[in-house]
Structure 1
Amino acid sequence: MKPKRKDKIKWSSNIAYAVGLLTTDGNLSNSRRHIDFTSKDIQLIKTFKKCLGIKNKIGLKTSGFSNKKYPRIQFSDVTLYNWLLGIGLTPKKSKTIGKLKIPDKYFFDFLRGHFDGDGCCYSYWDKRWDSSFMFYMKFLSASEEHILWLRYKIKNLINIKGDLTQSSRDHVYQLKYAKRESKILISKMYYKKNLPCLERKYRKLKTILEIDNKEANRLPELNGRVLELADSLD
């Protein structure tokens, strides 16, 4: 089923979040009409569908690297496709994507989608010091121009700079934020209740903050409106 759009697309928190997901795990076909989003997390596919009001059924896509099958949504929407081109997304974008035209008002919704698609967080106790609990957030991209833009936008909006490196193994760029800066990022990315997000990453961040001086109140509680998205496949 093809979504019908009578009006032009307007920015919203849901649209910005979906753009973040498409930036990391989406694909614009060369047909100039088809859009694909693939993820190993079925809940993320369902959240993506809800953000864009898509009714298409979820299918499976076989990975060309591992032959594993992952949930996937594919749909045709010329209006959305052209709008995405207009903000900077392109087909076969992994290594060529650069700056995107994201309004400052919705940048952290976009960033939350970017994190849910291709970001990660981890924590550990540093044995060099007593009671030293460390944690980090990472954003990843194969494009240097894109990761530099991401770093610039975050620095410009909330004055944190992170640490930028490139993996020697796969040459992917990694933008990493340590504990103090991660706390600032978290408060901006999860700024109110009921925001679309990947539940498992949200829960992991919440657990990290609970360990770190019981600061879980920095994240609002999820409720059924998010949890229900993972109940079942269409």
Structure 2
Amino acid sequence: MVLSDNNVPRRAIGSWKRKYDITEDYFKTWSNNMAYILGFIAADGVIQKENQCVSISQKENYILEDIKQELNTNQPLYRNKKTGVYMLNINSKVIKDDLMNIHGIMPCKSFNIEFPLVPEEYLHHFVRGYFDGDGYVKYETYTVSFVGGSYNFMNSLNQVLQNHNLPADLLNQNKHYRVILTGRKPIQLFSKWIYKDKDIYLHRKYEEFQKESLSLDQLKDRKLKRTQAAVKQRKQNFLKEYMKNKCIAKTCSILEIKEPTFKSWLKNDNQFKKDYERIHSL
């Protein structure tokens, strides 16, 4: 063919009639921001099965504007009048194919997504993107958590955090899984890692970590073991002691467990909640 003989790149099917511009090969090359956006899509994106559209939604429109700028697209945002949530629709067959074929992010991904092969130098940017899309932080309880439906993805995420000396735990909560990180110093170490060389990020989550008044050097390591077996044993000890006195405050005091930790167990561990409610009703 004349085009191929003269090394003229061929445009993707449908790109000639595209209404909005976009950098179609964006997800072919790793960068800090590409890793972040990939993580954001892995958490909060929707790969349409019926068409060539990738959708991202968020209640803060500025984060979608940052992503738009990075993708060099003039695609407008749409706002759901009922929920107030903004949506960015990325219409590109090339981008959709690259997300699926290079990075393994498929339509209907909630329960079968695998953790992508992310180069180590970009890993914290990917985790920050996933955290901004589907993560939670509350300084008052010293808790960071992620929620997902895919065991393989969440187990890999748990291993990534542990490999970076972050004492995370993976919890099975019936239809979904939760990776949880607790402790005043651990969540600040997590913050220091994911926000290193940051560019795009959700301000409200970043600001939650900034509530810490002490430096990392001033924060103490946790004395308690954070292995799953150790946490499970602490929960069992709580239930046994609570069965004796039926007082949350007294049980926490005897076992040196903070009440926010007990509340976190109730929220994040369905089996513990059932056992506690059964004892409470006796």
Letter matched to residue 96 of structure 1: N
Residue number in structure 2 paired with 1:148: 155
What stretches of structure 2 of length at least 5 have no aligned partner?
A: 1-19, 217-282
Letter matched to residue 202 of structure 2: L
Give the conservation status (yes or no) of the 8 Å contact 1:165–1:173: yes
- Going from structure 1 to structure 2, the CA distance change for 1:4 and 1:136 (only over 3 Å counts) comes to closer
| More moved, 79-88 vs 197-206 | 79-88
Aligned equivalents of 2:199, 2:27: Cα separation in 1: 23
Q: 1:75 aligns with which of 90, 98, 107?
A: 90
Q: Give the TM-score of the pair, scaled to structure 2.
A: 0.63
Q: Counting strand residues as a fraction of each chain, which structure ranks higher?
A: 1
- Going from structure 1 to structure 2, the CA distance change for 1:155 and 1:70 (only over 3 Å counts) comes to same
C-alpha distance after superposition, 1:24-62 (max 9, x if no partner): 110111146211101122122222222322220001247
SS of 1:87's partner is: coil
How many residues in Structure 1 have an aligned counterpart in Structure 2?
Answer: 196
C-alpha displacement at 1:111, in angstroms?
Answer: 0.5
RMSD (Å) for aligned C-alpha atoms = 2.3
- Going from structure 1 to structure 2, the CA distance change for 1:32 and 1:152 (only over 3 Å counts) comes to farther
Give the conservation status (yes or no) of the 8 Å contact 1:14–1:196: yes
Aligned equivalents of 1:23, 1:70: Cα separation in 2: 18
Give the conservation status (yes or no) of the 8 Å contact 1:90–1:97: yes
Aligned equivalents of 1:138, 1:177: Cα separation in 2: 6
Choose between structure 1 and 2 for higher RCO, CA contacts under 8 A separated by at least 6 residues.
1
- Going from structure 1 to structure 2, the CA distance change for 1:47 and 1:166 (only over 3 Å counts) comes to farther
Letter matched to residue 192 of structure 2: S
Q: Give the TM-score of the pair, scaled to structure 1.
A: 0.76
Residue number in structure 1 paired with 2:53: 34
Give the conservation status (yes or no) of the 8 Å contact 2:110–2:150: yes
Residue number in structure 2 paired with 1:94: 110
Aligned equivalents of 1:184, 1:196: Cα separation in 2: 19
C-alpha distance after superposition, 1:146-174 (max 9, x if no partner): 10011122223x13341121335xx3311
Letter matched to residue 35 of structure 1: V
Residue number in structure 1 paired with 2:129: 113
- Going from structure 1 to structure 2, the CA distance change for 1:72 and 1:173 (only over 3 Å counts) comes to same
- Going from structure 1 to structure 2, the CA distance change for 1:46 and 1:15 (only over 3 Å counts) comes to same
Residue number in structure 2 paired with 1:202: 206
C-alpha displacement at 1:7, in angstroms?
Answer: 7.9
C-alpha displacement at 1:78, in angstroms?
Answer: 2.0
C-alpha distance after superposition, 1:52-73 (max 9, x if no partner): 22220001247xxxx5342001
C-alpha displacement at 1:19, in angstroms?
Answer: 0.6
Residue number in structure 2 paired with 1:219: none
Give the conservation status (yes or no) of the 8 Å contact 2:22–2:71: no
Q: Counting helix residues as a fraction of each chain, which structure ranks higher?
A: 2
Give the conservation status (yes or no) of the 8 Å contact 2:128–2:194: yes
Residue number in structure 2 paired with 1:162: 168
C-alpha distance after superposition, 1:113-152 (max 9, x if no partner): 111111011133xxxxxxxxx5111111111111001112
